[in-house]
């Protein structure tokens, strides 16, 4: 049988919602220092006999050196910076109010639709991909669909920091098989809700943001800017080195969990050692499948987790350290926004590319999960 040529799919719009408040490294360090000194004083006897370890006092120099992060946006900062609370202070919303993740999604979606030259009524599928969802059901995607006034269907997806690229592949598949005509992929990341602000090694890592993408079959696209998806590739490999055990079964478990298990935690050295070569090999392999090599790529929009990781991954693909132009960084301003990071980089750093230029969006995170999307400007 002759092979059926699959329809071309393009990204035709992107959007970004930036939360209203920002937290500097200095503010975080001051808050955690007060909390650590208090905790160490309260546990002085246990520390003295070796029952518990003394908690380390944070410092700004360590944060920038370890990550490249200088500040981050959050949905609410007073609770994060309160040494007695150290988590956001978010309003409890009634069931007849729009949920917080749906609310932060709307500006990003409307910006993306405007770029694509589309109206909400054109959307017939909404995929929400993010590292943590505010509830089990109803799906946030269906709430967004309703708020938009869109028809069709929607669902939520969680593959941690790779949720955006995995959602893009799902959108591409839906467009190619005809189950949708215009798909919105949205990534409402409130990472401050699952970050561990009590520990020196973790408190600085994450920030909040929401990104949105509009995808359509290229033949149907009418927007001024179109990025043809040349290919998508996903891979997962189980690892406990990045983990968060918060879930609906916690209250049913016989032994109560340590609260530190119910927020983000990772073995950073192992993640660095294992993930960097895995991602570099993934990108190189994906390019090879598309008959491309590293020199054909004008720009890499990498997951914004850690500056050193991004540099090492790009070096593994290019054979040398990348320039800022080749692999732009938004990590210093936004911190790690989980699945939104690579999309923010794409949203912020693509206007200077010319028709025919090729770029790679790539994410990597807990799972382990890696996703890449190779695009070409039309």
Tell me the per-residue pLDDT of 71-85, one tens digit each, with 9 for 90 and over: 999 999 999 999 999
Burial class (CB in 10 A: 0-12, 13-18, 19+), 207: buried
In what helix (H) or strand (E) does residue 140 lie, and over which residues does it extend? helix 140-148
**pTM confidence score:** 0.96
Which of these is catalytic: 130, 161, 182, 362? 161
Cα 314 to chain centroid, rounded: 18
Task: Round to whole Å and give the CA distance between 262 and 83.
Answer: 19
Query: What does the pLDDT average to over 308-323?
Result: 96
Query: What does the pLDDT average to over 262-278?
Result: 96
Decide yes or no: CATH 3.40.47.10 for domain 227-377: yes
* 276 flagged as catalytic: no
Q: pLDDT value at position 5?
A: 83
Does 44 have pLDDT greater than 90? yes
Does 3 have pLDDT greater than 90? no
- The SS3 call for residue 293 is coil
Domain ranges of the chain: 227-377
The b/e string for 134-151 (b: 16+ C-beta within 10 A; e otherwise) is beeeebbbbbbbebbebe
Task: Round to whole Å and give the CA distance between 73 and 296.
Answer: 34
Does 252 have pLDDT greater than 60? yes
Residue pair 367/236 in contact by the 8 Å Cβ criterion: yes
User: Is 85 or 1 the better-scoring residue by pLDDT?
Assistant: 85
Q: Please spell the DSSP secondary structure of 157-217, one letter per residue.
A: E-BTBTHHHHHHHHHHHHHHHTS-SEEEEEEEE-GGGT--TTSTTTTTSB--EEEEEEEEE
As a whole-number percent, the residues of the chain with pLDDT over 70 amount to 99
């Amino acid at each position: 049988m002759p092979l059926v040529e699959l329809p071309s799919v393009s990204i035709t719009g992107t959007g970004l919602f930036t939360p209203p408040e920002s937290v500097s490294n200095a503010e975080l360090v001051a808050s955690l220092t007060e909390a650590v000194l208090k905790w160490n004083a309260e546990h002085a006897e246990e520390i003295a006999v070796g029952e518990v370890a003394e908690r380390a006092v944070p410092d700004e120099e360590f944060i920038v050196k370890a990550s490249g992060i200088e500040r981050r946006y959050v949905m609410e900062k007073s609770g994060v910076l309160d040494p007695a609370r150290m988590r956001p202070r978010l309003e409890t919303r009634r069931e007849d109010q729009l949920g917080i993740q749906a609310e932060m999604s709307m500006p990003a979606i409307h910006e993306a639709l405007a770029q694509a030259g589309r109206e909400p009524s054109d959307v017939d599928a909404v995929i929400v991909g993010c590292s943590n969802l505010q509830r089990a059901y109803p799906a946030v995607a269906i709430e967004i669909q309703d708020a938009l006034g869109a028809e069709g269907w929607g669902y939520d997806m969680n593959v941690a920091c790779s949720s955006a690229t995995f959602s893009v592949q799902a959108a591409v598949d839906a467009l190619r098989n005809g189950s949708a005509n215009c798909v919105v992929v949205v990534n409402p990341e409130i990472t401050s809700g699952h970050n561990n602000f009590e520990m020196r090694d973790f408190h600085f890592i994450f920030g909040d943001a929401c990104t949105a993408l509009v995808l359509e079959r290229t033949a149907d696209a009418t927007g001024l800017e179109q990025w043809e998806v040349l290919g998508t590739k996903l891979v997962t490999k189980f690892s406990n080195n990045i983990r968060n055990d918060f879930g609906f079964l916690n209250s049913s478990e016989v032994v109560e969990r340590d609260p530190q298990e119910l927020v983000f935690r990772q073995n950073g050295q192992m993640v660095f050692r294992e993930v960097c070569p895995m991602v570099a090999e993934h990108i190189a392999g994906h390019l090879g499948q598309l008959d491309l090599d590293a020199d054909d790529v004008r720009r890499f929009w990498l997951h914004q987790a850690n500056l050193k990781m991004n540099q090492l991954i790009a070096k593994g693909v290019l054979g040398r350290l990348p320039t800022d132009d080749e692999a732009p960084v938004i990590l210093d301003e936004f911190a790690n926004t989980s699945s939104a990071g690579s999309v923010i980089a794409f949203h912020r750093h693509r206007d200077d590319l010319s028709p025919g230029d090729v770029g790679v969006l790539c994410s990597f995170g807990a799972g382990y999960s890696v996703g890449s999307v190779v695009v070409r400007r039309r």
